[in-house]
Amino acid sequence: MNTENKAISIISTLLVFALAAVAFVLSFDALSALAESNGISPELAPLFPLAVDGFILAAALAALRANLRGASAWFPSVLVGAFTVTSIALNVAHSNGILAIPRPWLATVVAAVPPVALFLALELAFVQIRSDVERQVAVDALVDVQAEVDELTEKRQKLLDSNRRARKTATTLAQNIAELRAELDELARAPQSARDALLAFYSDNPLATHEVAGAEIGKSRQWVGPTLAKLEKEGRIKRNGSGVEVVISPANEEYISNHDDESGATPGKETT
């Protein structure tokens, strides 16, 4: 809002309140005189306009409050209309000179206005209190629902995080298992590969020492001796004074195996 519009808004608001004050004062004078001439004591007569015009103001504020909260404003709006009509009628009665001619019905109306205003004022207050209580209950319920939603959202996030960590752990475990299997396969193949390498080496170097053979295939001398003993027991080599004679080498193992199967001979033994 620019400066000009703001100034106009302030001036307009002040004028509205000024006109309302003027109208209230004028109505106050007429209703006070009307009340005093119809059985209300001079000391209490000034309170009569408050029961009429003051009620209009209270009901109007109650209607505004209900509208601002999005609630139903029919009851305070009806009260604004009813007391506005009552104030107009009483002011017209005062201006028509009815004061000079006593009218019993007018005194009855003046006497009835305060208790009616009291009843309706209390009912209006109860409506507002009930509305506040219902609104507070609704707000508390919304707060509880929001708290439950927040709690469920937090639990959901924790479950998602836990699931994410579990998947990550499972993936890591699967990778570790695959690596371990590969290592086990490699370890399972390594001894046989080393034995085949030892047999191949002695096929070409039957007089080589254990130390030389081990250095050639990447094994220690201590490994070569027991391995040759196992190979001799299996009939794959023979050891004599001239060195190591390879009976079944990796190159001819399949051929000898097939030949032995056909002849029924045992590998490493001569047939007679």
**Along the 272 residues of the chain, how does pLDDT read in single tens digits?**
577 778 887 888 788 778 778 877 877 888 888 887 777 888 888 888 888 888 888 888 888 888 888 888 888 888 888 888 888 888 877 766 555 455 666 666 766 666 666 656 767 776 777 777 777 888 889 999 999 999 999 999 999 999 999 999 999 999 999 888 887 876 666 566 788 888 888 888 888 888 888 888 888 888 888 888 888 888 888 887 778 888 876 655 554 444 445 444 444 444 33
Is 236 in a helix, a strand, or coil? coil
Q: Is residue 193 part of a domain?
A: no
Q: Is residue 35 part of a domain?
A: yes
Q: Which among 98, 115, 145 is the end of a domain?
A: 145
What pLDDT does 259 receive? 45
Q: Which among 118, 145, 172 is the end of a domain?
A: 145
Supply the pTM of this predicted model.
0.45
Q: Which among 114, 145, 176 is the end of a domain?
A: 145
Q: Are residues 83 and 217 in the same domain?
A: no
What pLDDT does 245 receive? 82
Number of domains making up the chain:
2
Q: Is residue 175 part of a domain?
A: no
Q: Is residue 113 part of a domain?
A: yes
Q: Are residues 139 and 49 in the same domain?
A: yes
Neighbours of 60 (CB within 10 A): 16
CA contacts within 13 A on the Cβ side of 23: 13
Q: Are residues 135 and 220 in the same domain?
A: no
Q: Is residue 252 part of a domain?
A: yes
Q: Are residues 9 and 141 in the same domain?
A: yes
Cβ-based burial of 87 (10 A; exposed 0-12, middle 13-18, buried ≥19): buried
Nearest-angstrom CA–CA distance, 44 and 29: 13
Q: Is residue 216 part of a domain?
A: yes
Q: Are residues 132 and 7 in the same domain?
A: yes
Beta strand residue intervals within the chain, DSSP E: 237-240, 243-246
Structural domain range at position 227 = 205-263
Nearest-angstrom CA–CA distance, 58 and 66: 12
